[in-house]
Amino acid sequence: MSRVVWINGKLVPAAEATVSVFDHGLLYGDGVFEGLRIYGGKVFRLEEHLKRLYESAKAIWLEIPIAVDALAAATNETVAANKLVDGYIRLIVTRGAGTLGLDPRNCDPRVIIIADTIRLYPAEYYENGLEIITSSVIRNHPAALSPRVKSLNYLNNILAKIEGIQAGCIEALMLNHKGEVAECTGDNLFLVKDGALHTPPLDAGILAGVTRDTVIELAAEAGLVCHERPLTKHDVYVADECFLTGSAAEVIPVVRVDSRTIGDGKPGPVTRDLKELYAKLTYA
């Protein structure tokens, strides 16, 4: 069926869903966004995603011209209008159209909701695991732009993604300015060592992932200890298991990093269990 897109209060055919060439989201990557999943016709963790969206906007002095409850209702309306049972939502807030200069004072913020299907990784990667590399592109310095702001400017991540693709890998690990493990280009990272989970802390320069938080909660319920601590590439290489989390990726195993085999080279039992628990939760 033909998709419709919600733009500033109206549902319009996708082919007619446009933004101004003077929009600062296009000109400068000035705006914020969220990626959400739809399972069984319901938006997963909508409240958490909206909270992060509004916090990101506040951090960059961007006022979202719609109340949280109204945006939640508009999101559900868009899902229903597109008759999606399972799919993906992209919530976008741009600074809006203004002048060709950087000055944002005359901009009129624009809210966009896109709902469609998605397939981030082929099914065999979930069964057999990913191979990734460590990119030479580091995460942005947190003193320049907080990594907790999910901004429209993803050039940092895109450059690392390109480097991974050029190396024959679909994903790449990024370090922070201290040389510590941060996250991948679109996903948070977890390690399993001696039966416990290990993941970089928020101050390692990572996005506060909604799926990351969900997996930590599921791990606690399953009796698994999760350590949020600084990690190095060595920790990754000698881990028993490794997996990535993200709204689009969900829970996906990693079996090789920088040509080092992780564990026995197959998705491990903890990863498989958490992947199953996450799948059950999404349709609960």
* pLDDT, tens only, 132-188: 999 999 999 999 999 999 999 999 999 999 999 999 999 999 999 999 999 999 999
How far is residue 256's CA from residue 161's CA, in Å, rounded to a whole number? 17
* End-of-domain residue from the set 57, 88, 116: 116
pLDDT bin (cut points 50, 70, 90) of residue 81 is very high
Total domains in the fold of the chain:
2
How far is residue 225's CA from residue 68's CA, in Å, rounded to a whole number? 34
Q: Any idea how long the chain is?
A: 284
Across the chain, the runs of DSSP E, i.e. the strands, are 4-7, 10-13, 31-39, 42-43, 87-97, 108-116, 130-134, 172-175, 181-184, 188-193, 196-199, 226-228, 241-246, 250-257, 260-261
Supply the pTM of this predicted model: 0.96
Q: Could you tell me if 112 and 245 lie in one domain? A: no
According to the model, what pLDDT value does residue 284 have?
81
Q: Could you tell me if 109 and 136 lie in one domain? A: no
Mean of per-residue pLDDT scores for the chain: 97
Q: Could you tell me if 98 and 24 lie in one domain? A: yes
Q: Which of 178, 234, 188 is nearest to 211 (CA)?
A: 188
Catalytic one among 42, 150, 161, 266? 150
How far is residue 8's CA from residue 245's CA, in Å, rounded to a whole number? 31
Q: Could you tell me if 198 and 277 lie in one domain? A: yes
According to the model, what pLDDT value does residue 83 have?
97
* End-of-domain residue from the set 93, 116, 139: 116
* End-of-domain residue from the set 54, 82, 116: 116
Within 10 Å of residue 15's Cβ, how many Cβ atoms?
10
The label of the residue with tokens 């080279």 reads 265
Q: Could you tell me if 132 and 259 lie in one domain? A: yes
Return the half-sphere exposure (C-beta side, CA atoms, 13 A cut-off) of residue 211: 25
What is the domain range of residue 272? 123-282
Q: Could you tell me if 58 and 158 lie in one domain? A: no
CATH number, domain of 53, equals: 3.30.470.10
Among this protein's residues, is 150 annotated catalytic?
yes
